[in-house]
Amino acid sequence: MKKTLLLFLAFFAVWGINAQVNADFESGLPDGWSIDGGWKLGNAASLKSDYFPFTGNETKFLGTNDDGAGQSGHADGRVITGFMDFTSTPNVFLQFDLYFFHGNYNDGGQETFSIYYSEDGTTWNQITSVETFYVWKRFYYDVSSFVGNKNVKIAFEYKDGNNWNYGAGIDNVSISEQPDYFAVVYPPAQSWTQIDNPGETGSFSFTVNYFGKQSLSNFKMVYTIDDGDEK
């Protein structure tokens, strides 16, 4: 019998999130946004190549495919949001899904994915650069340094390291007030090893990342096996 374990982390709170941006790209590029270089709007079927398939996302998203551009091509470019006003926002929380290999094909040059912000649409400052691996993964950042600024833009930048690398994809971008209580379990339960036979043992590990603006003193972990009683 296949044993399936489900894990829940319970945080008891009331959220009141005021979103400035909630972009899933199903209806196209949001008003005021721009893309350049190799970035395109599409889905896995239209944007994939042999070595960069965008596996795991069946919806529309923004992607740039350096592998598909060929050995002499380059898919560098930026996705830039429209202007946002954070003068009356107490804190700011950025979330997005990313597909990015952080590759360095034949040691010819490291591809990079970086996030920038601007307070005037002209001068850009780096927030962070991202390292990830071969699945879509959600990222979360407290960017409350934007608070009080009126004309903020955020840019997502891909560079191929002047090498024939892979590319990047982003989806489900949210920019909102930071929630009071918010935590993420990684890896998700779908990636944990299943136990298929009676008497078989297994182990798993996970990381809980907490992003709430309120201090957390404790949390409750609940699990079930094969839809049985909660433990």
Class of domain 19-176: mainly beta
pTM of the model: 0.77
Q: Please, what is the end-to-end C-alpha distance for the chain in angstroms?
A: 20
Q: What distance in Å separates the CA atoms of residue 90 and residue 88, rounded to the nearest whole number?
A: 6
List Cβ neighbours of 30 (8 Å cut-off, separation of 6 or more): 21, 23, 81, 82
Using an 8 Å Cβ cutoff, are 153 and 81 in contact?
yes
- Per DSSP bridges, beta strands 153-159 and 112-118 are antiparallel
Per-residue pLDDT of the chain (231 residues), as tens digits, is 344 444 444 443 333 334 578 999 999 999 999 999 999 999 999 999 999 999 999 999 999 999 999 999 999 999 999 999 888 877 888 999 999 999 999 999 999 999 999 999 899 999 999 987 788 998 888 888 888 888 999 999 999 999 999 999 999 999 887 666 666 665 555 445 566 666 777 666 666 666 666 677 777 766 666 666 655
Q: What residues does each domain of the chain span?
A: 19-176
